[in-house]
Structure 1
Amino acid sequence: MSDSQDSANKESPDSSGSTGHDSSDTSSVAELVNVLLEPAEELEQDEAKAKADKSSQGPRHKGIYLLPNLVTTIALFSGFYAILASMDGKFEAAAIAIFVAMVFDGLDGRVARMTNTQSDFGVEYDSLSDMVSFGVAPAVICYSWMLSDLGKLGWAAAFLYVSCAALRLARFNVQVESADSRFFEGLASPSAAALVAGMVWVGHDVEPSTSTAILAFLVTAGAGLLMVVNCRYHSMKGFNFKGHVPFVTFLAVVVGMVIVTIDPPRVLLSLALAYALSGPLFWLWIKFFRKST
């Protein structure tokens, strides 16, 4: 994953006179805002450079490695368990299992890079695991929870979500070597799954009703469509989590963790919803507001 950016051209004049890590973090934030707001054609050079950096890393290994694929298997099992739990009416446990799958899905790639065990097999296995955990499982959970009350509309929304997840993963696989790693094209399947699972987690004990079923339909279909639109989402892969950070940043992370523990389902649903809306909002900003200024 490349972090190569033309930061020297995008730093503000004020940042050149400051020193230390605070100055570095400020310039990184300013650069991120500029990149998110610039038109797509202005990013072609960055994407070409990212492609060159990826090709310089050399080919992936051909073998099968235990540790990263074991982590992927745990994520796959979590998605499988979520399906079984929803079929038994245990919607809270099913929703939690989706978030557990998200944690391990985020770990397998990092484990592979840390141990230098990246492989083509691991990439394909991870994609298939994502299809189960973040494609099929959320749709089955939401259908069992509320969409089934809508009849054909319910299973149509569930299938729309599954098919969009499959298309999203297929597009990601064919573009992974050329796309700018700092951004996702369309909402990532784990984020879409978090939106659907978060909704089920919040309303797992809600009595079935037409209004709730319609809300479930809109969220499920909307999450599916966001996976295949051309909106850009920041991937968070450009941030250097290994480097030094200001004390305020560390404090913000701690406060965020405390807030999550107060009411996990509602906080996680709010975060998933905010991230899902960020793509269309930035697209609207670029399309209308920025062009008019």
Structure 2
Amino acid sequence: MSNLFPPFEPDPRAQPRRRFQAVPVRVLVPNVVTLLALCAGLTGMRMAIEGRLELALGAIVLAAVLDGMDGRLARMLQGTSRFGAELDSLSDFVCFGVAPGMVLYMWGLDTLGSVGWIAALAFAICAALRLARFNVMLEDPNRPAFAADFFTGVPAPLGAICVLLPVYLELIGLPRLVASPAVAAAYCVVIAGLMVSKLPAWSGKKLGSRIPRDAVLPLFVCVVLFVAVLVTWPWPVLAILTIAYLAALPFSAMRYARLAREHAQAARATAFAEGGEAMLQPEIDEAERPGRLN
């Protein structure tokens, strides 16, 4: 009869049940870096609205650096997650789609009226489409192994760095006639098209995965010197890097085409060899059948 009326208060010795499992710190660190990149992109938008273009450009470059770190940190710490991937995509859209378009619009595209706004919108929309396609292609099981070294189209962070080339040129000291708002709008549309195109762009993911011991110290010196030069002369360095990257895209496409031809030839050779073995197999079985008269 005592079981019919259980006590109102639960047993104090019973441990409370956890509704959610504890999250490892190694999973949180990459997401924190992604949020810092998002904060940098949003700050760049604020600086552009206030007319402080140099700080706006610096914030977008910082967001690009942090974006390059969060994925590597996640793989290094084995803290990859679906939540982190979605958060990274949303952050990339704001930092490398909305923020650069806003900077360009506040820099000079606003003088073109609706045409300048349409160019900024086109860049932001193409950045969103580029990121959506990237997330879908990660799950493609039929993608050849060599294609992992290439992006399909210019990635969003590099597109954001490249599209700001007219601003770099003006900050260097070139007159606006060289990069007028009309030219900048056309250039913005071209970079937007490169992001959503199927142009193979070398990713460089496997570059430096294994470094010889005798090259470690020179690499440290080169990285420190590059950072020092970038901080001292940021706009000439960014302009040179942008022009060099755009000039290297045709060579990247040619290398991808060569690797694709080699892969197709190897696949045809393998299929021919397997087909020849399949055709010879019935004759071998017939010859080995017992009781056959010679």
TM-score, reference length from structure 1: 0.69
2:187 maps to 1:200: no
**Whole-Å Cα distance in 2 between the matches of residues 106 and 286 of structure 1?**
23
State the SS of the aligned residue for 2:151.
strand
Spell out the pairing of 1:81-100 with structure 2 (5 A cutoff): 81-100=43-62
Paired position in structure 1 for 2:124: 162
State the SS of the aligned residue for 1:203.
helix
What's the C-alpha RMSD, in Å, of the aligned pairs? Answer: 2.9
Q: Which moved more, 1:201-210 or 1:110-119?
A: 201-210
- Residue type at the aligned position of 2:155: A
Q: 1:207 to 1:83 in 2, by over 3 A?
A: farther
**Whole-Å Cα distance in 1 between the matches of residues 103 and 168 of structure 2?**
10
Spell out the pairing of 1:238-253 with structure 2 (5 A cutoff): 238-244=206-212, 247=215, 250=219, 253=223
Q: How far did residue 108 of structure 1 move?
A: 0.8
Once the two structures are superposed, residues 85-107 of structure 1 have per-residue CA deviations (whole angstroms, 9 ceiling, x without a partner) of: 11111111111100000111011
Paired position in structure 2 for 1:277: 247
**Whole-Å Cα distance in 1 between the matches of residues 213 and 109 of structure 2?**
45
**Whole-Å Cα distance in 1 between the matches of residues 156 and 132 of structure 2?**
11
Spell out the pairing of 1:111-122 with structure 2 (5 A cutoff): 111-122=73-84
Q: 1:66 to 1:282 in 2, by over 3 A?
A: closer
Q: Which moved more, 1:244-253 or 1:92-101?
A: 244-253
Once the two structures are superposed, residues 180-220 of structure 1 have per-residue CA deviations (whole angstroms, 9 ceiling, x without a partner) of: 32110100000010112353244258776695212321321
Spell out the pairing of 1:208-223 with structure 2 (5 A cutoff): 212-223=180-191
2:106 corresponds, among 140, 144, 147, to 144
Larger Rg: 2
Aligned residues with identical type, % of pairs: 36
Q: 1:162 to 1:112 in 2, by over 3 A?
A: same
Paired position in structure 1 for 2:92: 130
- Residue type at the aligned position of 2:97: G
Q: How far did residue 279 of structure 1 move?
A: 2.0
Q: Is the 8 A contact 1:187 1:276 kept in 2?
A: no
**Whole-Å Cα distance in 1 between the matches of residues 252 and 28 of structure 2?**
40
- Residue type at the aligned position of 1:183: F
- Residue type at the aligned position of 2:84: G
Q: How far did residue 256 of structure 1 move?
A: 3.9
Q: Is the 8 A contact 1:226 1:276 kept in 2?
A: no
**Whole-Å Cα distance in 2 between the matches of residues 210 and 244 of structure 1?**
44
State the SS of the aligned residue for 2:164.
helix
Gaps of at least 5 residues in structure 1 are 1-62
Once the two structures are superposed, residues 49-87 of structure 1 have per-residue CA deviations (whole angstroms, 9 ceiling, x without a partner) of: xxxxxxxxxxxxxx7932111100000011111111111
Once the two structures are superposed, residues 227-269 of structure 1 have per-residue CA deviations (whole angstroms, 9 ceiling, x without a partner) of: 0111111111011345326549636555544543442111112
- Residue type at the aligned position of 1:75: A
**Whole-Å Cα distance in 1 between the matches of residues 110 and 174 of structure 2?**
15
Number of aligned residues: 228
Paired position in structure 2 for 1:184: 151
**Whole-Å Cα distance in 2 between the matches of residues 245 and 212 of structure 1?**
49
**Whole-Å Cα distance in 1 between the matches of residues 133 and 156 of structure 2?**
12
